[in-house]
């Protein structure tokens, strides 16, 4: 580090500017030499209490000249390494702690900086003489620092960014205006103007504070450039600051670095700041980047882990005193940041490998969530666990932030916990103190359990409808079958017993129906599950088991169609407004299509036994080309039937007189449709061959009739029709008793006994029924090919893959709806309005 010993060559030029005067390079060299003499002797581990004062900088230079390994620590905060120090220097005070038996130090070790940052674990970065020299020269080169420049110390010395400013300026004979004051302190900018400051450094938080001091109106005639690092600044802010600099005659340098690279790795040339505000630019002189692919990273834009090489890469980490004797343990720096190269050849950081949550099968990038909230005008810090995304936000409506974050991530609204704080906890570097945030959320009292008097809060959380009132019902608030399953389980816990037709019951009436306290003992563990939910879960398990040969239980899919009709009637048709019915049915069809088509496209492209035309027709509407017995499109007959039947119902309900009759005759109209469906079921029209979709339509109509039945007589009629209609429904069974029994259970038994655990499992399985049906045909051969054909393992694998695909589809659908409504959810924009009703109506489960 030549600049450490060569300060005197700049002679009388001012090195340090303070409130009491100037210190020349000659005087600083003399002072550092005197301190070096006091510290002379065997190399030791020296802890320097860092502050932006002349004595501290002189002591730092003196300690380096004396050959010690220097750890710069905050002046007023404890460090676990203080107890290991051989020497402690605090201002003018020098304390020798270990006169004998000092630590063994590697010859190249010169400087140690803490990288605890936001991780909470205090380990040290070991930097060599060459690291410091190389980075100081590189930064001075691309910033074009000259001996006429003057920087103000806006960052602490123990922070690598702040220390880098000191290094690069001393290396060029430039001047440092020393202060530990905040940029918002009275007189700060007066001093900067008086001392003709030409530059200052800031982290994103610094630029937030600049707004408070009216920086745009400040008169700083000597300001030549401003640097920004220490975290990503929103592109809009970068562009705005760069434009301000262009108007005022100074330049903005956006920089990127880590302590492990002695502060700097990349910079964005100022002339590119307005054109490429989301980029960190190019490698600093002497350094280079490469991008290593990440197979598990979503997207195909060439993103991967950013890896840096250069002479400023650290020797390695020190996690214990013995590590101070280690030599070089790393040759390149794996940054942990995920980046891509733009078309302009610039590096753009798109994520961070370490700051992720995995919730409901979704990969949540906490950094990206913060950026999206910032783009929407919200200052927030994000942490979380395996149960929730936790957001601390400054001065904003927590309900609004929760809705926006849930919308952007695809998470259910009740899994996003938002707390309002007066300000975010920050480290000395200005970065958010995430350990403190995590501790604050962990220490906060959990949300009280929902009791019968707070049902509106429960509806607000589950349905993401803060506008819910006591007069609203589940259906009027846009509830659907996914939220229906979740709400059923939560209401069962809150009320004890859920009344019939609760989904159309106003909240105030539900509150009055709360059951008395449960009995003790084993009876207190008994819960209930709605039959339609249980049947959905049971049916898909039986379907998968039948297809792998574990059960010989054909007919479960037929029973599932009745459940479809039952839930269609209760949700999509549970309104007296015709267009609302049409919109809800249209949303359901769009949802089925969005989940189904990607699978159909992939398998038709990858497997010769499938064609897209054959899949969409299931051998009925559009004959597949070419057709042969080996073709396997028949496997998906259920999906295609589901789609076409709902399209038919959409067209039917759109007819005004049909809509009116369905309201006037909630049982009679669906039973009429059952009769029409049975004509197709039995192929009763001479010369007409009905497709499979028409053959099973009567089952969906039966489900609709079950929802409309009001007395025992009507249920008896349904039961007789079901028994007759199921006779010979399957080619290999003269009468499928099993399917009949499943449908009759739906007719006569509204609830089934269960446990809390079974309720949760059944809820997950039921919600992903359609996705499981879609993917299980492809999971089965994979399990067989890898000799993993254990029946239980295979069924579980199909259910798990189905649930994961369902969550992925949910994520994609949420973003597609946001894009369609011009509510972008990528890193450059954030929705600023609550979810629209249309989005709510498509946020439910796969099949009703």
Contact 168, 194 (CB under 8 A): no
Per DSSP, the three-state class of 168 is: helix
CB neighbourhood size of 657 (10 A): 7
Place of tokens 């398998």: 603
* Most trustworthy range by pLDDT among 179-188, 285-294, 367-376, 512-521: 285-294
Bridge partners for 318 per DSSP: 124
Burial class (CB in 10 A: 0-12, 13-18, 19+), 319: exposed
Q: Where are the domains of the chain?
A: 2-347, 355-433, 452-525, 532-815
Burial class (CB in 10 A: 0-12, 13-18, 19+), 336: middle
Beta strands 225-228 and 199-202 are parallel
Average pLDDT over residues 587-596: 89
Task: Tell me the per-residue pLDDT of 767-805, one tens digit each, with 9 for 90 and over.
Answer: 899 999 999 988 888 886 665 567 888 899 999 999 999
Q: Cα separation of 839 and 584, whole Å? A: 10
Average pLDDT over residues 653-674: 91
Task: Tell me the per-residue pLDDT of 736-751, one tens digit each, with 9 for 90 and over.
Answer: 677 888 999 999 998 8
Which of 438, 493, 420, 500 is closest to 462 using CA atoms? 493
Q: Cα separation of 369 and 338, whole Å? A: 15
Percentage helix, strand, coil, to 5, in the chain?
50, 15, 35
Task: Tell me the per-residue pLDDT of 251-298, one tens digit each, with 9 for 90 and over.
Answer: 999 999 999 999 999 999 999 999 999 999 999 999 999 999 887 665
> Residue 838: pLDDT above 60?
no
> Residue 827: pLDDT above 90?
no
Q: Cα separation of 521 and 500, whole Å? A: 27
Report the percentage of the chain scoring pLDDT > 70: 83
Q: Cα separation of 700 and 1, whole Å? A: 81
Contact 604, 514 (CB under 8 A): no
Q: Cα separation of 34 and 61, whole Å? A: 11
CB neighbourhood size of 423 (10 A): 10
**What's the mean per-residue pLDDT of the chain?**
83
Note the pTM of the prediction, 2 decimals. 0.52
> Residue 120: pLDDT above 50?
no
What was the pLDDT predicted at 822? 45
Average pLDDT over residues 408-434: 81
The answer as to CATH 3.30.300.30 being correct for domain 355-433 is yes
Contact 568, 666 (CB under 8 A): no
Task: Tell me the per-residue pLDDT of 454-480, one tens digit each, with 9 for 90 and over.
Answer: 777 778 777 767 777 877 888 777 676
What was the pLDDT predicted at 46? 95
Task: Look up residue 832 and give its two tokens.
Answer: 């600023």
Task: Look up residue 645 and give its two tokens.
Answer: 């039947």
Orientation of helix 769-785 relative to helix 791-820, angle to 10°: 130
H helices present in 710-832, as ranges:
712-726, 737-748, 756-767, 769-785, 791-820
Task: Tell me the per-residue pLDDT of 360-399, one tens digit each, with 9 for 90 and over.
Answer: 545 677 888 888 898 888 899 998 876 789 999 998 888 8
Task: Tell me the per-residue pLDDT of 687-728, one tens digit each, with 9 for 90 and over.
Answer: 888 877 788 999 999 999 998 898 899 999 999 999 888 876
Burial class (CB in 10 A: 0-12, 13-18, 19+), 218: middle
CB neighbourhood size of 145 (10 A): 23
> Residue 524: pLDDT above 80?
no
Phi then psi for 495, rounded to 5 degrees?
-100, -20
> ∠311-316-321 over CA atoms, to 5°?
140
Contact 492, 526 (CB under 8 A): no
> Residue 607: pLDDT above 90?
no
Q: Which residues 6+ apart lie within 8 Å of 683 measured at CB?
A: 689, 690, 695
Task: Look up residue 710 and give its two tokens.
Answer: 């009001």
452-525: CATH class: mainly alpha
Beta strands 124-128 and 316-318 are antiparallel
Biggest CA-to-CA distance, the chain: 112
Which of 380, 388, 513 is closest to 447 using CA atoms? 388
Q: Cα separation of 113 and 157, whole Å? A: 10
Task: Tell me the per-residue pLDDT of 201-235, one tens digit each, with 9 for 90 and over.
Answer: 998 888 888 887 889 989 999 999 999 998 888 89
Per DSSP, the three-state class of 469 is: coil
- Residues 451, 455, 458, 460, CA torsion sign: negative
Question: Could you tell me which CATH number the domain at 2-347 has?
Answer: 3.40.50.12780
> Residue 485: pLDDT above 90?
no
Contact 105, 324 (CB under 8 A): yes
Q: Cα separation of 601 and 615, whole Å? A: 9
* Helix or strand holding residue 93 (H, E): strand 93-96
Contact 798, 771 (CB under 8 A): no
Contact 33, 65 (CB under 8 A): yes
Chain-centre distance for alpha carbon 829: 15
What was the pLDDT predicted at 714? 93
């Amino acid at each position: 580090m030549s600049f450490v010993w060569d300060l005197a060559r700049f002679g009388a030029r001012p090195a340090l500017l303070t409130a009491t005067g100037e210190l020349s390079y000659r005087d600083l060299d003399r002072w550092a030499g005197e301190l070096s003499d006091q510290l002379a002797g065997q190399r030791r581990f020296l802890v320097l209490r860092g502050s932006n004062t002349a004595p501290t900088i002189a002591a730092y230079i003196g300690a380096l000249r004396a050959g010690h390994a220097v750890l710069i620590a905050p002046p007023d905060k404890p460090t676990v390494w203080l107890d290991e120090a051989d020497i402690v220097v605090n201002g003018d005070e020098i304390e020798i702690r270990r006169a004998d038996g000092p630590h063994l130090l590697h010859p190249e070790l010169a400087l140690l900086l803490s990288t605890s940052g936001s991780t909470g674990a205090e380990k040290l970065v070991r930097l060599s003489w060459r690291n410091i020299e190389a980075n100081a020269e590189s930064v001075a080169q691309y910033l074009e620092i000259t001996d006429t420049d003057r920087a103000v110390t806006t960052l602490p010395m123990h922070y690598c960014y702040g220390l880098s400013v000191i290094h690069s300026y001393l290396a060029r004979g430039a001047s440092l205006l020393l202060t530990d004051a905040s940029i918002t302190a009275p007189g700060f900018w007066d001093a900067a103007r008086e001392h003709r400051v030409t530059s200052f450094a800031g982290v994103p938080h610094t630029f937030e504070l600049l707004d408070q001091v009216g920086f745009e109106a400040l008169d700083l005639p000597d300001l030549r450039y401003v640097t920004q690092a220490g975290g990503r600044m929103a592109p809009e802010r970068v562009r705005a600051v760069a434009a301000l600099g262009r108007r005022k005659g100074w330049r903005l340098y956006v920089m990127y670095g880590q302590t492990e690279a002695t502060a700097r790795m990349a910079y964005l040339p100022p002339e590119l700041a307005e054109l490429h505000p989301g980029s960190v630019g190019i490698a600093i002189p002497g350094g280079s980047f490469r991008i290593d692919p990440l197979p598990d990273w979503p997207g195909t834009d060439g993103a991967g882990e950013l890896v840096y090489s250069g002479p400023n890469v650290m020797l390695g980490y020190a996690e214990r005193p013995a590590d101070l004797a280690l030599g070089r343990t790393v040759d390149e720096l794996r940054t942990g940041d995920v980046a891509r190269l733009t078309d302009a050849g610039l590096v753009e950081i798109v994520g961070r490998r370490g700051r992720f949550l995995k919730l409901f099968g979704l990969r949540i990038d906490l950094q990206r969530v913060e950026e999206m909230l910032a783009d929407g005008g919200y200052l927030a810090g994000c942490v979380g666990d395996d149960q929730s995304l936790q957001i601390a936000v400054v001065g904003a409506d927590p309900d609004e932030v929760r809705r926006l974050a849930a919308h952007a991530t695809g998470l259910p609204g009740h899994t996003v916990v938002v707390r309002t704080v007066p300000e975010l906890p920050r480290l000395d570097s200005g970065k958010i103190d995430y350990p403190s945030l995590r501790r604050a959320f962990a220490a906060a009292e959990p949300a009280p359990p929902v009791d019968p008097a707070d049902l509106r809060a429960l509806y607000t959380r589950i349905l993401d409808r803060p506008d819910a009132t006591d007069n609203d019902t589940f259906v009027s608030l846009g509830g659907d079958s996914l939220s229906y399953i979740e709400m059923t389980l939560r209401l069962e816990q809150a009320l004890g017993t859920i009344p019939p037709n609760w989904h159309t019951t106003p909240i105030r009436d539900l509150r009055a129906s709360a059951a008395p306290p449960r009995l003790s003992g084993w009876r207190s563990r008994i819960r209930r599950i709605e039959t339609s939910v249980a049947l959905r879960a049971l049916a898909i398990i039986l379907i998968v088991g039948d297809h792998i040969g574990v059960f010989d239980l054909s007919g479960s899919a037929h029973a599932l169609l009745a459940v479809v009709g039952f839930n269609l009637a209760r949700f999509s048709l549970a309104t007296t407004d015709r267009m609302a019915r049409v919109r809800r049915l249209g949303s359901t069809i769009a949802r089925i299509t969005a989940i189904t088509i990607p699978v159909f496209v992939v398998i038709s492209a990858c497997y010769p036994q499938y064609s897209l035309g054959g899949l969409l027709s299931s051998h009925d509407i559009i004959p597949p080309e070419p057709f042969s017995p080996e073709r396997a499109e028949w496997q998906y007959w259920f999906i295609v039937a589901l789609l076409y039947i709902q399209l038919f119902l959409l067209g039917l309900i759109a007819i005004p007189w049909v809509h009116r009759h369905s309201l006037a005759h909630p049982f009679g109209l669906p039973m009429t449709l059952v009769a029409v469906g049975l004509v197709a079921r039995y192929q009763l029209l001479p010369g007409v061959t009905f497709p499979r979709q028409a053959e099973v339509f009567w089952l969906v109509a039966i489900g609709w009739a079950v929802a409309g039945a009001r007395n025992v007589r009507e249920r008896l009629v349904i039961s007789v029709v079901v028994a007759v209609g199921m006779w010979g429904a399957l080619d290999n069974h003269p009468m499928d008793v099993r399917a009949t029994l499943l449908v009759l259970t739906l007719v006569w038994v509204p609830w089934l006994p269960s446990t809390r655990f079974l309720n949760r499992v059944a809820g997950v399985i039921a919600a992903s029924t359609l996705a499981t049906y879609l993917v299980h045909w492809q999971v089965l051969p994979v399990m067989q090919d890898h000799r993993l054909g254990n029946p239980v393992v295979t069924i579980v694998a199909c259910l798990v893959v189905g649930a994961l695909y369902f969550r992925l589809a949910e994520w994609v659908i949420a973003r597609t709806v946001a894009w369609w409504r011009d509510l972008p959810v990528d890193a450059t924009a954030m929705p600023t309005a609550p979810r629209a009703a249309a989005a709510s109506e498509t946020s439910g489960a796969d099949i009703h």
